[in-house]
Amino acid sequence: MFYSQFTYTTKQLAFDTLFMVDGPLTIPTENAEQEQWRLLSRLTFSANIEQIMKVNGHVGVSESTIEFISGCLRQSEAYFKTAQVASLDISPLLLYYGTTNLLAGVGAIMYGQKLPILGHGMKLELPSDKHLRIADVRVKPVNANNGGLQLFNNIFSEGSTLVNGEDWTFEEIVGSIPDARQDFLLCYLEAKPFSIPLQLVKTEQGLMDRIDPNDLTRFDPAYSALDQVIDLQKCYLPPQIGNQQKYIILRHRMNAKDICVYSLSGKRYLQISHKKAHQNIRASPMILMTMGLYILGYLSRYNPEIWNTFTRLDTTGEVLLIVKFLAICQRYIPNMVLDQLYGRRHLFMSQADEVLDLTSLSSMSELQKQIRDQLREELNKLGIYK
């Protein structure tokens, strides 16, 4: 098994960086896509590849491996840039090829050599209903030892076994992507999402997360959604209802690992697990996006009669969700690869120069001092305090 060959250090890196306990690295930029590819393109130069592989514990890497990594990243960027201006007829296929090249190249950096990939590691299953929804198209992970999907999952996710005889619908996949949540709910009016928005708040008792019960209305009962979040009890105390019964309160356990996934803007979500072969599976958004792109890319390439009809004649608005999903993949997949590679979330944000306000109160002691001074002044006026 490939996963057993994976060194502990790299496995732990892949698992730890999935949820990013450290604060994000904010990168000011007016063009996030251009900036993230500028950072990734540094790894097309042999000296930089050798350096980062040493950091990952890999020395004496062959020249062919270095050229493989460089070529994968160069091709990936070309695919992504072409997809950005391509029509919906071919953009899913370009994004899928760009993603697999990117994961293969960076995966080789983390593994120390080319991954032993033989095929995509997925098979498409079309529903028999002639009134096809893209939501109902299924993908089945296959070939646990050499399939691309499982090997990518071993590195870029927790290493859970996706190849278990079960398939995944596109509805499940897109419903798991935090940035697509609102569009998903509008498109599939009866579907259950697989992410729960969190709001981090600071109180006198410290930091805590809270959930708006309105975000759980598609679950019956609402609390059943929380029962499907892996490791929730390890990270939080039992959920509580707020004083005004407006929010579900989650208080952090001491030294607990953050189990959240993040949107592009840095908003935090709990991820609802998927029940597959009697097991709860938590796949990373990057792996889920890869599965979704495979579905869309396969349809556009090998089933043009279905894809062409859908893109031209869709009457439900599902095509708008597809366009949104592709835009998220275009922007976020390279970003998540950077996160995994360097062990820290990267936030690309437009940031203007700010005035540093030194007049603001920086601590409670300063506030107390100001109150005392003001009180003395008032008492002096009354002749009570000299």
Q: What is the pLDDT of residue 365?
A: 63
Q: What is the pLDDT of residue 7?
A: 35
Q: What is the pLDDT of residue 2?
A: 42
Report which of 261, 259, 260, 266 is spatially closest to residue 347, judged by C-alpha positions.
266
DSSP 122: E
Q: What is the pLDDT of residue 24?
A: 84
Contact 86, 94 (CB under 8 A): yes
Measured distance CA(282)–CA(284) in Å, rounded: 7
Contact 150, 164 (CB under 8 A): no
Measure the CA angle with vertex 378, ends 375 and 380; round to 5°.
Answer: 105
Span 178-209, pLDDT tens digits: 999 999 999 999 999 999 999 999 887 788 99
Measured distance CA(257)–CA(79) in Å, rounded: 36
Specify which of 11-15, 54-58, 190-194, 345-349 reaches the highest per-range mean pLDDT: 190-194
Of residues 79 and 245, more confidence is placed in: 79
Measured distance CA(358)–CA(355) in Å, rounded: 9
